[in-house]
Amino acid sequence: MKSISIFGFTGSIGTQALNILEDSEDFVFDFFVCNKNIDIAAPIIKKFSPKYVFIDDKGAREKINRSEFSSTSFIPDYDGLLKLVKENPSDIYLSAISGFSKVELTLLAAQSGKRLLLANKESLVIMGTRLMQIIKESDTDLIPIDSEHYSAYLSLKELDQAEISKLILTASGGPFESVPLENLKNKNVTEALNHPNWEMGSKISIDSATLVNKCFEVIEAHHLFNLSGEQLDVVIHPQSIIHSFVEFKDGSYEAQMSEPDMGFPLSYGFYKQRVAFRKNKTADKILHGLNLTIKEFPQDRSFLLDITKDIIQNGGNRGLVFAAINNYAVEKFLNEEIRFIDIYNLIRSNYEKIEKKDLFELEELNENYIEIQEHIRN
């Protein structure tokens, strides 16, 4: 029996993982971490009886009726959580908290020498070099939980790096696929959240609509697979059936296909083999009316790819700068304080202006994050 900890158990990734695990007798549960969504958390805690739960938001933490959950301990503070996680390693960690928050938990999982299912992409974008170094030194088994990176992982895991020319990630294009930049000005929050192929948390849904998510994914791929900016490319593929292409030195390609469902990487991550996880799902679209299109990344958004290349080339704080500006902008957009187009405007007007810094450790990163936020706000 393997033990699992889920950081972000109430979110889109967390709940999809739990759907896969709910009928299994193969696992026990250690640490479940969320922010404040106790209406979702309570029935999950009841059903899965994790040993420990940490709820970050103080109000929500005090509101949950602990006496209902006799086999679960509720951890009162974050430092206490970090200590307990360090002292009680799990066999498998799912890192699925959104954004920059609680990155220490991802680092502890990376240091564990066990298995890390990494969904949180911000950790790779802002400190990929350090994170990958820790994972290598600790011999932690890393499984990427992102459809593109999981498919690339499958294609690349038994390959000699010398055989690969390129990795090409696909992007669905999100809800505004084929809409030119000039017509995106006033797209509202509901329109931007309405992703055609995936149901995801609100932050990543907006990032998909702007295509910033794909930039993050190129940076992730650079760190995960040790590929240079020149070896990474993006194409638009609206159906989200092909998740990545590997181009080999001989000019042939390998494409990984599946319906868009995060259950593929998650179930593989838990079992380390392909298992029948798709309960109640009928015949695949794959063999019925397969109609796949591939298009170029939109020219009018090429400035995003220029920034991505700059981040890969220069490292240091460049990923943090990009992610921090975007974070700020997406939050403002979700609060209806700025227009959709202003997300791009904020990125373009701030990225170059923010001073380049070499940083490596989390403390340096946290300090620089505060400086960057101050710069953006002024």
Could you tell me if 48 and 27 are in contact, meaning their C-beta atoms sit under 8 angstroms apart? no
* Binding track over 131-170 against Mg ion, x by CB under 5 A: ---------------xxx----------------------
Backbone angles phi, psi at 297, to 5 degrees: -60, 135
CA distance 338 to 187: 11
Query: For 336, which DSSP code?
Result: T
Question: Please, what is the minimum distance in Å from the beta carbon of residue 40 to Mg ion?
Answer: 23
Residue at 355: amino acid letter: E
Binding-residue pattern over the window 97 to 136 for ligand NDP, x denoting contact by CB under 6 A: xx--xx----------------xxxx--------------
307 touches 347 (CB < 8 A) = yes
**Beta carbon nearer to ligand NDP, 81 or 372:** 81
Are 242 and 257 in contact by the 8 Å Cβ rule? The answer is yes
Q: How far is the CB of 364 from ligand NDP (least distance, A)?
A: 21
Our finding on whether 232 is near ligand NDP (CB under 6 A) is no
Selected binder of ligand NDP within 19, 27, 82, 201 (CB under 6 A): 201
Q: Which does 326 bind (CB under 5 to 8 A by kind): Mg ion, ligand NDP, none?
A: none
Q: How far apart are CA 29 and CA 336, in angstroms?
A: 39
Q: What residues numbered 56-85 form the site for ligand NDP, per CB under 6 A?
A: 56
Q: Are 257 and 158 in contact (CB under 8 A)?
A: no
* CA-closest candidate to residue 213, choices 169, 246, 179: 169
Span from 2-10, 45-53, 274-282, 342-350 in contact with ligand NDP (CB under 6 A): 2-10
Query: Looking at beta carbons only, is 73 or 194 nearer to Mg ion?
Result: 194
Give the C-alpha separation, 206 to 346, whole Å: 15
101 binds, among Mg ion, ligand NDP, none (CB under 5 to 8 A by kind): ligand NDP
Tell me which residues touch ligand NDP (CB under 6 A): 8-14, 33-37, 56, 96-98, 101-102, 119-122, 146, 198, 200-201, 204, 262
